Structure 1
């Protein structure tokens, strides 16, 4: 059983979709900025999703990473406990930093929920 609610995962999926869409627009708008200015703009852009992930408790953050790994087929849904143990021993930076480094985060989380028979679309519809 996941320690994070499917509605929280759906919220993160929506924020990740939004971040990905905005990052394309941001890239066009910031072409002429220096590297430091561009990095600052990127951090501002991911502030909402980063804050949401940081506000999760440790068990929820662990399961969120494990769910992403299940979604990318690193583990199967029947290996949730093993995925959790791996998160706890191998991830040394913040959950937000780790997850936001995944270019396909929203897709991995959607696939992870699907692996447990949970429809991300139904959860997203409830949020909206």
Structure 2
């Protein structure tokens, strides 16, 4: 279903919450994803903000591919509430990231 690992999405969520000082690092991380991962990340954010329903996820991915006119890292870092949209998207898609978040936070210590 998702062509991006939940761990990468969690990384982006936490990086987004770091604030503007981490924006360059966040952009570099997103730019380093392959094109499938980028399209799925955009689609996940769209589902999270209600632009697409979870059952229309593949349509969201197709739309992300078709409408890409800006680099994904620029588009997503300019999206208001990116972290919240990604969290809501994961939840809507039924992806439980509890363990991934715990692992991510343990790695920060």
| TM-score, scaled to structure 2 | 0.90
Three-state SS of the structure 2 residue aligned to 1:46 is helix
Runs (5+) with no aligned partner, structure 1: 24-43
Aligned to 1:32: none
Q: Map 1:34-53 onto structure 2 (within 5 A).
A: 45-53=22-30
Structure 2 residue 35 is the aligned partner of structure 1 residue 58: yes
Three-state SS of the structure 1 residue aligned to 2:18 is helix
How many corresponding residue pairs? 105
Q: Is the 8 A contact 1:14 1:124 kept in 2?
A: no
Task: Give me the whole-angstrom Cα distance separating, in 2, the residues matched to 1:45 and 1:107.
Answer: 17
Ranges of 4+ aligned residues in structure 1 off by more than 6 Å: none
Runs (5+) with no aligned partner, structure 2: none
> Which has the greater radius of gyration?
1
RMSD: 1.3
| TM-score, scaled to structure 1 | 0.77
